[in-house]
Structure 1
Amino acid sequence: MGRIIDQVRGMSLAEKRELAETLREAIAEELAAGAGEPDRCPRCGCPAFVRKGRDAAGRQRWL
């Protein structure tokens, strides 16, 4: 895990933002694919959330 953190520290801000969004999407897709309803919003972590349709790529959206 330490190696990953070191790699993230070496990234530009734009790369970190892209990584964060990609991770959020991957987690949301995994949860929507059958892991059950999440306890918190997969995108922002808020405990008050609802499903908000799908985006153009077919990924679950959250509000």
Structure 2
Amino acid sequence: MQRKKKILIIKNRQDAISYAFFQSKSDHIIFIAGKGHEEQQIIKNKNINYSDKIIVLHLLEKKI
């Protein structure tokens, strides 16, 4: 059996999490890996305040 694989690359982490969140259904699980407890993201030698937890909490407020 052969399966076609679809891969979507979203380079912006917040956009990728938002996309997964709004594409998901109530019985889906979204696994967000890589940043964990970190509260900053380094982009081109700049530290930017960023938290996956805060992003998800904002998304939950919108979806509920």
- Shorter-chain TM-score bucket reads under 0.3
Compute the TM-score of the two structures, normalised by the length of structure 2: 0.28
Q: Which has the higher contact order (CA 8 A, sep 6+)?
A: 2
Structure whose CA Rg is larger: 2
State TM-score, norm by structure 1. 0.28
Higher helix content, 1 or 2: 1
